[in-house]
Structure 1
Amino acid sequence: MSGTKGQVLEFELGEETYCVSIDYVTEIVDVGDLTQVPNAPKHVEGVMDLRGRTTSIVNPKTIFDIDGDGAEQRVVVFDPSIVADQSAAGWLVDEVYQVVQVDPENVDASPGQGSGGSIRGVVKRDDEFVIWVDPAAVHAA
């Protein structure tokens, strides 16, 4: 992939490490009380009140068809401008690791895993791979 270096936030889902561009992230919070939403899509775990704003909490494991239970203890909150209806949304993740610099030369293009273009690529680092997902593509629908 071409482009300039960018910073990504790495987090855990199940047994894999994923990342998103830090530009999309507004904050990271602990999971609070979730209010269930009747007739919500399967991937919506509920809503949380974050500083007076109702925030939809999405489980990316459902979106990306990831097996495995995890701690599901943190919420990565995204900039509302990336969500189709400008509403606040966050992803329920098992753990948040770190913000790292990514060199485009270390990113392999996505193998087109039928996920609606939501996977940007795979970051190669040392002896591991980090799946780079695009929350804007996930929330564009």
Structure 2
Amino acid sequence: MSTTKQTTDDLRTNVLEFALGENRYCVDIGYIAEIVDTADLTAVPNTADHVEGVMDLRGETTKIVNLRKIFGEDDGETLGSRIIVFKRKQDSKERIGWLADEVNQVREIQLQEVDTSVEGDGIAGVIRRDDDFVLWINPTDVRV
């Protein structure tokens, strides 16, 4: 009987890369239910500033969150054209979508590529891409 030892070098995952303004972000695709175009949003009074409103997504009310405001990148004018809708947590009835300017692609990454020394609310790490960086977001750590 042989045993295979799996090292960090072998661990891979798929992430969805997306843009908010000039910055690129990614999130593990295991959290994502679907990606939809931004439709008419209904504003909800007395909600947090980063909540842009709600929308009807196949008969379900979905709260739409502006990550630009959460991450302090809000230019006050632009709403993203795409919405990344997340799978519902087992203990939650709330369905959430994040506004994104652009959804780029799904990429496979090796976990050893992720620099976890960078700390920030919701930021799980940083991945170097050519001459740029992609910030890896852990959606369970983002306060929405």
Please state which band the TM-score falls in when normalised by the shorter chain: 0.7 to 0.9
Q: Which runs of 5+ in 1 are unaligned?
A: none
| Number of the residue aligned with 2:138 | 134
The TM-score, its normalising length taken from structure 1, stands at: 0.88
| Number of the residue aligned with 2:46 | 39
Spell out structure 1 runs of 4+ moving beyond 6 A. none
Question: What are the within-5 Å matches in structure 2 for residues 9-88 of structure 1?
Answer: 9-68=16-75, 70=78, 72-81=80-89, 85-88=92-95
Contact 2:79/2:99 (8 A) holds in 1: no
* Letter matched to residue 125 of structure 2: G
Percent identity between matched residues is 48
| Number of the residue aligned with 2:4 | none
Please report how far the alpha carbon of residue 70 of structure 1 lies from its aligned counterpart in structure 2 after TM superposition: 4.6
CA gap of 1:17–1:70, structure 2 versus 1, over 3 A, is: farther
CA gap of 1:91–1:110, structure 2 versus 1, over 3 A, is: farther
Work out the CA distance in 1 between the residues paired with 2:142 and 2:117.
Answer: 15
Q: Which has the larger radius of gyration?
A: 2
Q: Which runs of 5+ in 2 are unaligned?
A: 1-7
> Secondary structure in 1 aligned to 2:89?
helix
Work out the CA distance in 2 between the residues paired with 1:39 and 1:73.
Answer: 24
Contact 2:52/2:66 (8 A) holds in 1: yes
CA gap of 1:79–1:46, structure 2 versus 1, over 3 A, is: same
> Secondary structure in 2 aligned to 1:42?
coil
Number of aligned residue pairs: 135
> Secondary structure in 1 aligned to 2:30?
helix
> Secondary structure in 2 aligned to 1:81?
coil
